[in-house]
Amino acid sequence: MASDVVNDFSIQVATVNGSGSQTANLVLIRSLFQMGIPVSGKNLFPSNIAGLPTWYTIRANWRGYIARKKDVDILVALNPETAREDVLALDAGAAVVYDAALKLDEVRADLTFYPVPFDELVKPVCPDAKLRRLVRNMIYDGVLSRLLGIDLAEMDRALEKQLGRKPKALALNRAALAAGDAYAAEHLSKADPFRVERMDATRGKILIEANAAVALGAMMAGVTVVTWYPITPSTSVVETLIDYMKRYRVDPETGKATFAIVQAEDELASIGMAIGAGWAGARSMTATSGPGMSLMAEFSGLGYFTEVPAVIIDVQRVGPSTGLPTRTSQGDMLSTAVLSHGDTKHIMLIPSSAEECYSLTMKAFDLAERFQTPVFVMTDLDLGMNTWMADEFPYPDAPLDRGKRLDRATLEKLPDWGRFMDVDGDGIPWRTVPGDGLPAYFNRGSGHNAKGQYSERAEDYTSLMDRLARKFETARRAVPPEVVDEVAGAQVAIAAYGTSHWAVEEARGQLAAEAGLATSYIRLRSYPFTQAVERFIDRHARVYVVEQNRDAQMLSLLKLDLTPGQVGKLRSVVYYTGLPIDARSISDEILAQEREARQRARP
Amino acid sequence: MTTPAPASPAAGRKINRINLEVAAYRGGRTTLCAGCGHNAISERIVDACFEMGVQPERMIKLSGIGCSSKSPAYFLGGSHGFNAVHGRMPAVATGALLANKTLLPIGVSGDGDTGAIGAGQFVHLMRRNVPIVYIVENNGCYGLTKGQLSPTADAGSALKNGVVSGLPAMDLCALAVQLGATFVARSFSGDKKQLSSVLKAALAHRGAALLDVISPCVTFNDHEGSTKSYAYVKDHADPLGEITFVPFFDDISVEYDPGSSIAVTLHDGSRVVLKKLDDKYDPRDKLAALALLHESNQRGELATGLIYVDPAKPSFVDLLNVVDTPLSFLPEAQTRPGREALADIMARLR
């Protein structure tokens, strides 16, 4: 046997959609997490309710690298339709736990095979034939527990956390877990190098799907009006929010809600309602994905031009069109920055982690009201629908920023007031809302002057557009700044954002360890960018912009802000398979481009 | 919410029950064509709001795009207004009401804005029974783009340029009744008395109130051969009988004969008394309303008046079970859960 590989492997579970493997996968992740090992879980699933192949990948890594790993170390093959293909795709040395009936050991000789008679094992455990399909999966947890050395007691604890409120299901699954473990102990002899050891790297952390983190951020931001239309992968943002709000935002004395959540007839209506609510003074939001964003274009422009706050959560999936609805991408960055016809620029916040899904969603509400404009939170399917480790979310340390909402005292102090008058020179006017008893105004998506009156005068239009641009510049100083990790003397740098972060961190490790290439790193968290981006580019020779779309969308946005000299330093690394980006794809591409640059430099 | 100190009226000026003059309900000067039916409707809105004594700061005016949608700038100058995007005013109105359920919205739309581009949102506004006075200024054509057919143009009706509509007209009233609107009326911009009564009754109602008001386009659709011209509508309007509105604050007792009249008490306690021409017709009967619209259409006539009303059905906003304070004015203490809530959630995720 090769030397042990401890706390560094990926497991891929191949099943059929709808077969109930989610409990088994979450128990597996949670038990590793409970043993203190950094872990992540990603569901690579089809747009289908039941019957199509689905894969779940779990990454455990002692260094904390939890991006998707390109190669699979341990395959759990339970789907007869894909099993052979799945086995053929493995690197030599990988291990395969499989349904014995599939006879996968005939396919290759350079893998470690662990046949398990699932059907035979599940019968005595679960006499009710109808339930067997669901319980069967827990057997592979038992087998892996024995093969990898995962403490069975931790599995049991994780199972209880998962099913504690369903005693019958808990008992059945426990028995299946034990059956798998016992079978492995008796019939399988360990022949692969992968195993686990207890660590202490997850203390004080939580496990969460980041759509739930967005929901928590919205609730803690005091959202009052939520209007939405179901669309994968954003649906669970609002469904989770509904659960939280029912629990924490209902007045215990009267039983009445401090919020309204409405499922609209489509995305045109969901953003229209959010804009209507924002105009009337509520903290409002909607959540959607690519196709919904396209439908929201016109209202986004209205929100920008009439200066109405609203928060739009875009959980990006693969486009264009219906695209791959259950796969991940960063494909809406460019279109969202300028969403709508006419000159439009939107504030976007870009979380990389569950923590930031919480904190930046909260921030989005403050910025929307401060800048009186729609603010977009650009997350993605990989973040939103997968299981992430995160530090516990801190309680907000600042009160809500409701922006320039006029009150009578302020109104009396102002020399003059018009709804769209820039009295403070920052491009942000003061606003009143219906029902506040202060002067009313007529809001309109047509041309208007500083008082909000209809105007087609050239100077009124130009001055309005210039003020909106000035407001956007003010936002540049208020958005969450980039996170910079500058390595002294590094010539090469990486710029990335969102979920690419996790693969970039690992790729930097690979570049340093395998090619001796030190890289600086800037992680973008907002649009507009702050001044730090230009300074960072100036200090490096080449900056690789890593993103998960075909057309280098963020690089295009950067170009708008940079000098030709700075633009000349930008290189592009793009990844667009629908799967979460992995480190190897980044480091290979950067090294290839570096080699090419050196060759070009030679005479 | 504060009630503004009423302006003291000049001697001899007429004031309403909250001490405001009619001027407090007027808006900017119209930019629509002289003689446009929409201007008459704006005047009726001003009068109705004045007579009902509604607080201008509680009212909001909303519209989509088109000639009709410009008109909210021409009434209720002291109220907030939002001229939004084409066909999507219902969503904006709904959102505003979610933010503040105490607001009284008047939506003004046109036949294209409602029946064509906005059909989807109109359908769901009515279906939800959102509390709004939703006026369609219906002239059967697109005015702002210079006279194309709209979905309410009658089959056989001709445009000025000779184009004849070959498709059946969309009956917005029938659609609204079927969808769940709780106040459905049809009127004519030229019928001052009826329109005024219907408007006041709609203001007294809580629920989706559709007012389909035929409002001839003097520039593009007022010629012979059009079924939306002043002359045609005057000839073919078929009022359902006299409608009298008795506001809740008016303690005059109205004598009526229950054999020949029907009195309906509205949400705020106001009443509409309908003198029956046809002794069978009862506007609380949904099937009768649909039959009436269908039969009137078959005869080539235009039934006007209060066609359907259900004052008891709870509105969409009232079904939401939200706190009494408008959500838009809730303080942070009520909208941001405390530390123990977050700690509780974190404990479950550990």
The enclosing domain of B207 has a CATH number of: 3.40.50.970
Residue B278 has pLDDT above 90, yes or no: no
- CA quadruple A55, A56, A61, A64: dihedral sign: positive
Nearest-by-CA chain A residue for B316 = A262
Distance CA A196, CA A5 (A): 8
Q: Do B335 and A283 touch (CB under 8 A)?
A: yes
Residue B16 has pLDDT above 70, yes or no: yes
Distance CA A355, CA A68 (A): 19
Residues of B (72-111) whose Cβ lies below 8 Å from A = 72-73, 77-85, 88, 90-100, 102-103
Q: For residue B125, tell me if it sits in a domain.
A: yes
Of B330, B342, B345, the CB nearest to A224: B330
Of B4, B95, B330, the CB nearest to A272: B95
The answer to whether residue B298 neighbours chain A at the CB level (below 8 Å) is no
The answer to whether residue B17 neighbours chain A at the CB level (below 8 Å) is no
Domain that holds residue B160: 22-324
Q: For residue B264, tell me if it sits in a domain.
A: yes
Give pLDDT tens digits for B238-247: 998 889 999 9
Q: Do A256 and B79 touch (CB under 8 A)?
A: no
Chain B nearest-CA distance from A422, in A, is: 20
Of B28, B77, B85, the CB nearest to A298: B85
Of B80, B102, B334, the CB nearest to A440: B80
Average pLDDT over residues A120-146: 94
Of A206, A258, A443, the CB nearest to B346: A206
The answer to whether residue B147 neighbours chain A at the CB level (below 8 Å) is no
Give pLDDT tens digits for A247-258: 999 999 999 999
Q: Do A256 and B321 touch (CB under 8 A)?
A: yes
Of A254, A306, A443, the CB nearest to B323: A254
Chain B nearest-CA distance from A391, in A, is: 10
Q: For residue B301, tell me if it sits in a domain.
A: yes
Chain B residues within 8 A of A275 when measuring between CB atoms: 84, 91-92, 95
Nearest-by-CA chain A residue for B325 = A258
Q: Do A445 and B85 touch (CB under 8 A)?
A: yes
Average pLDDT over residues A141-151: 97
The answer to whether residue B124 neighbours chain A at the CB level (below 8 Å) is yes
Q: Which residue from A569, A548, A547 is spatially nearest to A559, judged by alpha carbons?
A: A569
8 A C-beta contact, residue A231 and residue A418: no
Domain ranges of chain A: 5-203, 208-391, 408-476, 483-601
pLDDT of res. A477: 97
- CA quadruple A238, A241, A247, A252: dihedral sign: negative
Average pLDDT over residues A348-364: 98
- Beta bridge pairs of residue A318: A324
Of A273, A432, A437, the CB nearest to B2: A437
Distance CA A279, CA A575 (A): 39
Residue A574 has pLDDT above 80, yes or no: yes
Give pLDDT tens digits for A442-498: 999 999 999 999 999 999 999 999 999 999 999 999 999 999 999 999 999 999 999
Domain over A5-203 is classified CATH 1.10.472.50 = no
Of A258, A265, A440, the CB nearest to B327: A258
How does the average pLDDT of chain A come out, rounded?
96
Report CA dihedral (A190, A196, A198, A204) to the nearest 10 degrees. -150
Identify the weakest region by mean pLDDT among A49-63, A396-410, A470-484, B323-337. A49-63
The answer to whether residue B29 neighbours chain A at the CB level (below 8 Å) is no
Of A258, A274, A392, the CB nearest to B95: A274
Q: Which residue from A59, A48, A58, A57 is spatially nearest to A16, judged by alpha carbons?
A: A48
Tokens of residue A290, six digits = 């690519």
Residue A360 has pLDDT above 50, yes or no: yes
pLDDT of res. B19: 96
Average pLDDT over residues A54-69: 96
Q: Do B95 and A284 touch (CB under 8 A)?
A: yes
Q: Do A440 and B88 touch (CB under 8 A)?
A: no
Residue B4 has pLDDT above 70, yes or no: no
pLDDT grade, residue B261 (50/70/90)? confident
Q: For residue B333, tell me if it sits in a domain.
A: no
Residue A433 has pLDDT above 50, yes or no: yes
Nearest-by-CA chain A residue for B86 = A298
Superfamily, domain A208-391: Thiamin diphosphate (ThDP)-binding fold, Pyr/PP domains (3.40.50.970)
Nearest-by-CA chain A residue for B344 = A248
Average pLDDT over residues A540-568: 98
Chain A nearest-CA distance from B5, in A, is: 11
For chain B, the first-to-last Cα distance in angstroms comes to 44
Chain B residues within 8 A of A393 when measuring between CB atoms: 342, 346
Chain A / chain B CB contacts < 8 angstroms: 223
Average pLDDT over residues B152-160: 92
Q: For residue B110, tell me if it sits in a domain.
A: yes
Residue B3 has pLDDT above 50, yes or no: no
Average pLDDT over residues A388-415: 96
pLDDT grade, residue A340 (50/70/90)? very high
Chain B nearest-CA distance from A198, in A, is: 17
pLDDT of res. B101: 98
Distance CA A584, CA A577 (A): 14
Q: Do A277 and B80 touch (CB under 8 A)?
A: no
Q: For residue B168, tell me if it sits in a domain.
A: yes
Residue B251 has pLDDT above 80, yes or no: no
Question: What pairing do the DSSP bridges indicate for beta strands A260-263 and A324-328?
Answer: unpaired
Q: For residue B133, tell me if it sits in a domain.
A: yes
Name residue, tokens 């009434």: B75
pLDDT grade, residue A233 (50/70/90)? very high
Chain B residues within 8 A of A222 when measuring between CB atoms: 330, 332, 335-336
8 A C-beta contact, residue A222 and residue B335: yes
Give pLDDT tens digits for A191-215: 999 999 999 999 999 999 999 999 9
Give the three-class secondary structure for A160.
helix
Q: For residue B60, tell me if it sits in a domain.
A: yes
Chain B residues within 8 A of A254 when measuring between CB atoms: 323
8 A C-beta contact, residue A251 and residue A344: no
Q: Which residue from A268, A332, A324 is spatially nearest to A300, judged by alpha carbons?
A: A268
pLDDT grade, residue B256 (50/70/90)? confident
Interface test with A, best of B25, B123, B126, B322 (most A CBs within 10 A): B322
Q: Do B121 and A445 touch (CB under 8 A)?
A: no
Identify the weakest region by mean pLDDT among A38-47, A140-149, A459-468, B62-71. A38-47
Chain A nearest-CA distance from B46, in A, is: 17
Query: Residue length, chain A?
Result: 603
For chain B, the domain total comes to 1
Chain A residues within 8 A of B93 when measuring between CB atoms: 276
pLDDT of res. B160: 86
pLDDT of res. A341: 98
pLDDT of res. A559: 98
Q: Do A440 and B330 touch (CB under 8 A)?
A: no
Distance CA A574, CA A555 (A): 10
pLDDT of res. B306: 96
Average pLDDT over residues A82-91: 95
Distance CA B48, CA B62 (A): 17
8 A C-beta contact, residue A157 and residue A139: no
pLDDT grade, residue A17 (50/70/90)? confident
CATH no. of A483-601? 3.40.50.920
Give pLDDT tens digits for A174-197: 999 999 999 999 999 999 999 999
Of A219, A268, A392, the CB nearest to B91: A268
Nearest-by-CA chain B residue for A300 = B85
Chain A residues within 8 A of B330 when measuring between CB atoms: 222, 224, 258
pLDDT grade, residue A47 (50/70/90)? confident
Higher pLDDT, B274 or A389: A389
Q: Do B93 and A276 touch (CB under 8 A)?
A: yes
pLDDT grade, residue B1 (50/70/90)? very low
Cα–Cα distances in angstroms (integers) from residue B138 to residues A149, B109, B339, in the given order: 76, 8, 55
The answer to whether residue B179 neighbours chain A at the CB level (below 8 Å) is no
Residue A338 has pLDDT above 80, yes or no: yes
Nearest-by-CA chain B residue for A388 = B349
Chain A residues within 8 A of B4 when measuring between CB atoms: 437
Of B98, B321, B345, the CB nearest to A262: B98
Computed over its alpha carbons, how large is the radius of gyration of chain B?
A: 21
Chain B residues within 8 A of A406 when measuring between CB atoms: none
Chain B residues within 8 A of A281 when measuring between CB atoms: 99-100, 326, 328-329
Of A221, A251, A400, the CB nearest to B323: A251
Interface test with B, best of A224, A246, A355 (most B CBs within 10 A): A224
Average pLDDT over residues B193-211: 97
Query: Residue length, chain B?
Result: 350
pLDDT of res. A603: 67
